[in-house]
């Protein structure tokens, strides 16, 4: 994945010099793109490497549709900007788009462009992965069925994954037992299992930046291209951090309580979070207490939005019903 991020980082382009002739203020432009992540296009292989799933399951994304939008950039944090704003201090794009990231062009989809932006650093940049609504606009190749599924159900993400493992098995949690994750519980061979999840877990992501740039820099006369990055593999993380991560699928697969080859959100909601081995999972990295495995999926979905590949957006706000 590292070389992929380098390519993304190299996308910041600098072109001809320009100047706003009416004010003498130097300006530039910025374009925000959404591109399909390699994991969504190619899946996540099983293996021992850092970016692979470490318990033998491989993931293929059959569907990955998101709602994305509400892009803004300013100099101040969101809390202070309303009282201090001057003209030209804030650029916003208030539309939301339904995007099929599995079938998006590899060159990406342009979701916002701001022109005549004063040059220099813009320290506050953010966007949303909101619940889709009827005002959301189709962008790129989105089928009518997918679009209506998103807006009719108010989804931030709709995904279908197929997980496969030679010699794989499901060991359904004993949700009525004292220890639902009893290591002696029965297992059933299962080499393929499906996750089909309609995720209404919208969020905003602010304070976006990379290790070398808080927000974005607008060079004089240039067009800066930045990429809004959706990290789908967080569903398999053992903690909400970006270093020392283990990716695991089995603890989610064991939530196929009725052994029908599919793990549903309803099943995940029946499984207490205590089934996760705390010597493996660091739940202290989550911003609130989790009760069930569905809460785990909710919070990892809320942390999907990233910036410029390996950059992040550390200020996150849940927008969904559960947060109210
Ligand atoms: Ca099931």
Domain assignment present for residue 17? The answer is yes
Q: Rounded distance, CA 130 to CA 176, Å? A: 35
In the prediction, which pLDDT does 16 show? 35
Sign of torsion over alpha carbons 60, 190, 238, 129: positive
Q: Rounded distance, CA 170 to CA 188, Å? A: 5
Centre of ligand 1 from the C-alpha of residue 251, in Å: 14
Q: Rounded distance, CA 157 to CA 292, Å? A: 19
pLDDT band of 198, cuts 50, 70, 90 = very high
Domain assignment present for residue 51? The answer is yes
Residue 312 predicted with pLDDT over 50? yes
Mean pLDDT of 11-35: 64
Centre of ligand 1 from the C-alpha of residue 247, in Å: 22
Residue 202 predicted with pLDDT over 50? yes
Q: Which of 114, 121, 107 is nearest to 71 (CA)?
A: 114
In the prediction, which pLDDT does 323 show? 59
Domain assignment present for residue 320? The answer is no
Centre of ligand 1 from the C-alpha of residue 293, in Å: 14
SS3 for 44? strand
pLDDT in tens, 139-156: 999 999 999 999 999 999
Centre of ligand 1 from the C-alpha of residue 10, in Å: 44
Domain assignment present for residue 127? The answer is yes
Domain assignment present for residue 34? The answer is yes
Mean pLDDT of 197-203: 98
Residue 266 predicted with pLDDT over 80? yes
Centre of ligand 1 from the C-alpha of residue 92, in Å: 43
Centre of ligand 1 from the C-alpha of residue 215, in Å: 43
Centre of ligand 1 from the C-alpha of residue 255, in Å: 7
pLDDT band of 242, cuts 50, 70, 90 = confident
| Residue-range definition of the domain harbouring residue 104 | 2-315
Domain assignment present for residue 321? The answer is no
Residue 184 predicted with pLDDT over 90? yes
Domain assignment present for residue 322? The answer is no
Centre of ligand 1 from the C-alpha of residue 263, in Å: 5
Mean pLDDT of 309-313: 91
Domain assignment present for residue 323? The answer is no
The reported pTM is 0.89
pLDDT in tens, 64-105: 999 999 999 998 766 555 666 666 789 999 999 999 999 998
Q: Picking from 51-55, 84-88, 170-174, which range would have the lowest pLDDT averaged per residue?
A: 84-88
Residue 36 predicted with pLDDT over 80? no
- Percent of the chain at pLDDT > 90 equals 80
Centre of ligand 1 from the C-alpha of residue 295, in Å: 17
Mean pLDDT of the chain: 90
Q: Rounded distance, CA 34 to CA 29, Å? A: 17
In the prediction, which pLDDT does 25 show? 79
The length of the chain in residues reads 324
Please tell me the total count of domains within the chain. Answer: 1
Residue 291 predicted with pLDDT over 80? yes
Residue 257 predicted with pLDDT over 50? yes
């Amino acid at each position: 994945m590292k070389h992929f991020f380098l390519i993304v980082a190299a996308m910041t382009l600098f072109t001809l010099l320009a100047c706003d002739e009416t004010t003498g203020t130097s300006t530039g432009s910025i374009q925000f793109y959404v591109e399909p992540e390699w994991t969504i296009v190619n899946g996540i292989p099983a293996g021992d490497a850092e970016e692979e799933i470490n318990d033998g399951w491989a993931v293929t994304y059959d569907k990955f549709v998101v709602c994305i939008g509400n892009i803004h950039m300013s100099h101040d944090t969101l809390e202070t900007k309303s009282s201090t704003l001057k003209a030209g201090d804030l650029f916003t794009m208030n539309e939301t788009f339904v995007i099929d990231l599995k079938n998006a062009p590899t060159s990406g989809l342009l979701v916002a462009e701001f022109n005549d932006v004063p040059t220099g650093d813009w320290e506050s940049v953010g966007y949303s992965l909101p619940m889709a609504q009827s005002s959301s606009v189709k962008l790129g190749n989105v089928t009518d069925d997918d679009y209506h599924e998103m807006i009719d159900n108010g989804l931030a993400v709709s995904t279908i994954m197929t997980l496969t493992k030679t010699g794989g098995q499901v060991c359904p949690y004993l949700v009525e037992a004292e220890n639902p994750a009893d290591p002696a519980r029965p297992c059933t061979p299962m080499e393929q299992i499906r996750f089909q999840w309609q995720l209404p877990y919208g969020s905003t992501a602010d304070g976006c930046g990379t290790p070398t740039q808080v927000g974005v820099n607008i060079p004089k006369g240039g067009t800066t291209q930045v990429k809004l990055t959706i990290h789908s593999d967080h569903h398999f993380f053992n903690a909400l951090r970006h270093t020392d991560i283990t990716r695991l699928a089995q603890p989610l697969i064991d939530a196929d309580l009725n052994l029908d080859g599919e793990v549903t959100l309803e099943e995940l909601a029946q499984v207490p979070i205590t089934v996760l081995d705390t010597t493996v999972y660091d739940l202290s990295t989550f911003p609130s207490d989790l009760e069930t495995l569905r809460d785990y999926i909710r919070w990892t979905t809320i942390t999907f939005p990233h910036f410029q590949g390996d950059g992040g957006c550390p200020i996150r706000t849940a927008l969904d019903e559960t947060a109210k």
